[in-house]
């Protein structure tokens, strides 16, 4: 048992219950604020959308959601607090920095010419974990880091090293973004070599490929993995993700796998309707898809209720405990 920081304060890891380990409240790529036709940021309206979107997941027993937005992706702890209070769902927010190509690396890259940004980024993570984010008093409960496709850039390596250092000192888990099913084994190896505890690491977006050899090379390092983009057929087909989950469960990895959606009910920017070719590829994407479609399919393939419970309740708890 351990204390876990949620946006409404600390709770015991035993209280986490059914947990979605990687979700968002807003889809929030930096630059939306440069769009002259973007809808102004209305926290109240966004909170309403999020609470509504969470209802179905709540009905399926979800008790906790990890809001995986790092510092540079519209992390909004006031919004998190509003949504947590109104929905009754625990929300754990992150400190961290996104992969270089789609985040906001400019500030630390500029400073890196003169200053020790490895330490500065570590200090940022530590401040947000131990004292809180800004003056909100909300403490980050996870560290979120990411890497791009096919390589870990110099900047990303600095961020990962800072994360490992903060993990080691605070015990707070690290969750990661991997791009297009690449660099998972390298992320795990780097974090562990920098002193992070493998049992406090979750390598994310593992279902960006269907390569079991890749998945196992991550698992063999003692870390958790997450199939946490279920429902995003736009990026990779769920059919293949399901095949991988069933295969890995079949060889005994139930105690190391988590399921989630990387879903966001509210997209920042201009109002837009998705083109017809995209719609079917996101048709199932929601906070409830795992419960409505994935778990029934796993059960049909012979996966036990015990294994489902392990993935949805025990593993998230273990990651934090």
Residues at the contact surface with Zn ion, assessed by CB under 5 A: 68, 262
CB 200 within 8 Å of CB 224: no
- The distance of Cα 204 from the centroid of its chain, to the nearest Å, equals 7
Give every CB contact of residue 163 below 8 A, 6+ residues apart in sequence. 96, 125, 143, 145, 174, 191, 196
CB of 281 to Zn ion, least distance (A): 17
Q: How many helices (H) and strands (E) does the chain have?
A: 12, 12
CB of 74 to Zn ion, least distance (A): 12
- Return the number of the residue (46 or 249) whose C-beta is nearest Zn ion: 46
- Return the number of the residue (180 or 251) whose C-beta is nearest Zn ion: 180
- Return the number of the residue (21 or 68) whose C-beta is nearest Zn ion: 68
CB of 144 to Zn ion, least distance (A): 8
CB of 69 to Zn ion, least distance (A): 7
CB of 68 to Zn ion, least distance (A): 4
- Return the number of the residue (7 or 249) whose C-beta is nearest Zn ion: 7
How many Å apart are CA 171 and CA 319, to the nearest integer?
A: 10
- Return the number of the residue (103 or 185) whose C-beta is nearest Zn ion: 103
How many Å apart are CA 113 and CA 172, to the nearest integer?
A: 29
What distances in angstroms separate CA 130 from CA 10, 28, 123, 142, 166, one per listed residue? 12, 26, 10, 12, 10
- Return the number of the residue (87 or 260) whose C-beta is nearest Zn ion: 260
CB of 274 to Zn ion, least distance (A): 18
Q: Tell which residue, 261, 239, 306, 11, has the closest CA to residue 141.
A: 11
Q: Tell which residue, 136, 28, 172, 8, has the closest CA to residue 82.
A: 8
Residue 194, number of CB atoms within 10 A of its CB: 16
Sign of CA dihedral 32, 38, 43, 46: negative
């Amino acid at each position: 048992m351990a204390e876990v920081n949620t946006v409404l304060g600390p709770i015991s890891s035993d209280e986490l219950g059914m947990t979605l380990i990687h979700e968002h409240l807003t889809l929030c790529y930096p630059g939306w604020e440069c769009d002259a036709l973007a809808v102004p940021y209305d926290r109240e309206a966004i909170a309403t959308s999020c609470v509504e979107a969470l209802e179905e997941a709540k009905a399926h027993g979800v008790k906790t959601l990890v809001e995986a937005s790092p510092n540079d992706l519209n992390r909004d702890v006031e919004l998190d607090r509003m949504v947590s209070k109104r929905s009754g769902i625990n929300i754990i927010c992150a400190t961290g920095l996104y992969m270089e190509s789609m985040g906001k690396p400019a500030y630390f890259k500029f400073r890196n010419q003169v200053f020790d940004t490895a330490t500065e980024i570590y200090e940022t993570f530590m401040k947000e974990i131990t004292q809180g984010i800004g003056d909100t008093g909300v403490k980050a409960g996870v560290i979120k880091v990411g890497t791009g496709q096919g390589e870990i850039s110099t900047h990303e390596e600095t961020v990962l090293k800072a994360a490992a250092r903060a993990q080691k000192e605070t015990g707070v888990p690290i969750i990661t973004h991997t791009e297009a099913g690449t660099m998972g084994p390298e992320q795990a190896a780097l974090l562990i070599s920098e002193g992070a505890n493998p049992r406090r690491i979750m390598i994310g977006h593992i279902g960006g490929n269907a390569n079991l050899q890749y998945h196992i090379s991550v698992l063999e390092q003692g870390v958790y993995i997450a199939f946490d983009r279920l429902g995003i057929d736009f990026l990779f087909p769920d059919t293949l993700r399901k095949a991988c989950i069933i295969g890995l469960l079949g060889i005994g990895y139930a105690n190391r796998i988590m399921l989630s959606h990387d879903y966001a009910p509210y997209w920042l920017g201009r109002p837009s309707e998705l083109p017809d070719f995209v719609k079917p590829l996101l048709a199932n994407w929601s906070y409830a898809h795992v419960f409505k479609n994935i778990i029934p399919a796993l059960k049909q393939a012979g996966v036990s209720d015990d294994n489902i419970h392990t993935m949805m309740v025990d593993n998230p708890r273990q990651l934090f405990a």
